[in-house]
Amino acid sequence: MKQILALLCTLAWFSFPAAAQKTPTPKVKSRPAAAGGVVVGKTIYARNCLTCHQADGGGVDGMNPPLTQTTYVLGDKTRLVKVILNGLQDEDIDGEPYNNVMPAFDILTDQEIADVLTYIRSNFGNKASEVTPAEVKAIRATNRK
Amino acid sequence: MKSTFTRSLLLAPVLLGSLSVLALRHASTVVPDPDNAGLTLPAGFSALKVAETGGRARHITITPQGTIFVKLNRPNAAGKGLLMLRETSGGKAEVASAFGTYGGTGVYSTPEYLYASSDQDVFRYKLNGKGEVVNPEQPEKIVTGLLNRRQHESKSITLDREGNLYVNVGAYSNTCQVKDRQKGSLGQPNCPILDSAGGIWQFRADKLNQTYGDGIRYATGLRNVVGLDWNAQANQLFVMQHGRDQLYDNFPALYDSKQSAELPAECMYALKKGDNAGWPYLYYDGQQRKKMLSPEYGGDGKKQAPGNYLEPAAAYPAHTAPNALLFYTGTMFPERYRHGAFIAFHGSWNRAPEPQKGYYVVFQPFKNGKPSGDWEVFADNFAGSAANAAAGRPEHKPCGLAQGPDGSLYVTDDKKGTIYRIVYAKK
d(CA B117, CA B99): 13
Give the DSSP per-residue string, B15-80. HHHHHHHHHHHHHHT----TTGGG-B--TTEEEEEEEE--S-EEEEEE-TT--EEEEESS--TTS-
Q: How many CB atoms lie within 10 A of CB B301?
A: 15
Contact B201, B132 (CB under 8 A): no
Q: A2-22+30-142 domain in CATH 1.10.760.10? A: yes
Is pLDDT at A73 greater than 50 in this prediction? yes
Nearest residue of A to residue B348, measured between CA atoms: A60
- How many Å separate Cα A137 from the centre of its chain? 15
**CB atoms A99 and B150 under 8 Å:** yes
Q: Which of B73, B86, B68 is nearest to B153 (CA)?
A: B73
Q: B140-160 burial, b if ≥16 CB within 10 A, otherwise e?
A: bebbbebbbbbbbbbbbbbbb
Partners of B181 on chain A (C-beta within 8 Å) are 100-103
Predicted confidence band at A90 (pLDDT cuts at 50, 70, 90)? confident
d(CA A68, CA A52): 14
d(CA B268, CA A10): 43
Nearest residue of B to residue A98, measured between CA atoms: B150
State which amino acid sits at residue B235. Answer: N
If you count them, how many residues does chain B have?
427
d(CA A109, CA A114): 8
Q: Which of A61, A11, A15, A17 is nearest to B392 (CA)?
A: A61
Q: Which of B297, B283, B300 is nearest to B185 (CA)?
A: B297
**pLDDT tens digits, chain B, 427 residues: what are they?**
344 444 444 444 444 444 444 444 444 589 999 999 999 999 999 999 999 999 999 999 999 999 999 999 999 999 999 999 999 999 999 999 999 999 999 999 999 999 999 999 999 999 999 999 999 999 999 999 999 999 999 999 999 999 999 999 999 999 999 999 999 999 999 999 999 999 999 999 999 999 999 999 999 999 999 999 999 999 999 999 999 999 999 999 999 999 999 999 999 999 999 999 999 999 999 999 999 999 999 999 999 999 999 999 999 999 999 999 999 999 999 999 999 999 999 999 999 999 999 999 999 999 999 999 999 999 999 999 999 999 999 999 999 999 999 999 999 999 999 999 999 997 5
Q: What is the 3-state secondary structure (H, E, C) of B89-147?
A: CCCCEEEEEEECCCCCCCEEECCCEEEEECCCCEEEEEECCCCCECCCCCCEEEECCCC
- In this structure, what DSSP letter does residue B409 have? E
Q: What is the value of ipTM here, to two decimals? A: 0.84
Give tens-digit pLDDT for B11-52. 444 444 444 444 444 445 899 999 999 999 999 999 999 999
Predicted confidence band at A29 (pLDDT cuts at 50, 70, 90)? very low
**CB atoms A56 and B393 under 8 Å:** yes
Give the phi and the psi of residue B317 in degrees, each rounded to 5: -55, 145
The Cα of B64 is separated from the nearest Cα of chain A by a number of Å equal to 33
Q: Of all residues in chain A, what percent carry a pLDDT higher than 70?
A: 73
Spell out the domain ranges in chain A. 2-22+30-142
Question: Mutating which of A1, A42, A51 best tests the B interface, going by the most B Cβ atoms within 10 A?
Answer: A51
Positive or negative, the Cα torsion across B224, A106, A81, B261?
Answer: negative
Q: Which of A47, A45, A7, A13 is nearest to A32 (CA)?
A: A13
pLDDT at B112: 97
B413 touching A (Cβ < 8 Å): no
Contact B93, B87 (CB under 8 A): yes
pTM, full prediction: 0.89
Is pLDDT at A26 greater than 60 in this prediction? no
Question: Mutating which of B56, B72, B119, B183 best tests the A interface, going by the most A Cβ atoms within 10 A?
Answer: B183
Is pLDDT at A30 greater than 50 in this prediction? no
Of A48, A55, A101, the CB nearest to B352: A55
The Cα of B159 is separated from the nearest Cα of chain A by a number of Å equal to 27
pLDDT at B2: 41
- Region for B381 from its dihedrals, namely left if φ exceeds 0, alpha if ψ lies in -120 to 50, beta otherwise: left
d(CA A67, CA A57): 5
Of B173, B252, B353, the CB nearest to A3: B353
A64 touching B (Cβ < 8 Å): yes
pLDDT at B28: 53
pLDDT at A94: 87
Question: Mutating which of B173, B226, B323, B349 best tests the A interface, going by the most A Cβ atoms within 10 A?
Answer: B349
Contact B128, B80 (CB under 8 A): no
Q: What is the 3-state secondary structure (H, E, C) of chain A?
A: CHHHHHHHHHHHHHHHHHHHHHCCCCCCCCHHHHHHHHHHHHHHHHHHCHHHHCCCCCCECCCECCCCCCHHHHCCHHHHHHHHHHCECCCCECCECCCCCECCCCCCCHHHHHHHHHHHHCCCCCCCCCCCHHHHHHHHHHCCC
Contact B167, B205 (CB under 8 A): no
Maximum separation of any 2 CA atoms in chain A, in Å: 48
Contact B57, B411 (CB under 8 A): no
Strand-pair partners of B367: B370
Contact B383, B359 (CB under 8 A): yes
**CB atoms B392 and A60 under 8 Å:** yes
- In this structure, what DSSP letter does residue B152 have? T
Distances (CA, A) of B178 to A49, B150, B352: 20, 18, 25
pLDDT at B164: 98
**CB atoms A50 and B353 under 8 Å:** yes
- Region for B359 from its dihedrals, namely left if φ exceeds 0, alpha if ψ lies in -120 to 50, beta otherwise: left
Partners of B349 on chain A (C-beta within 8 Å) are 51-52, 54, 60, 63-64
Q: Which of B347, B208, B246 is nearest to A103 (CA)?
A: B246
- How many Å separate Cα B301 from the centre of its chain? 31
Of A55, A61, A87, the CB nearest to B415: A61
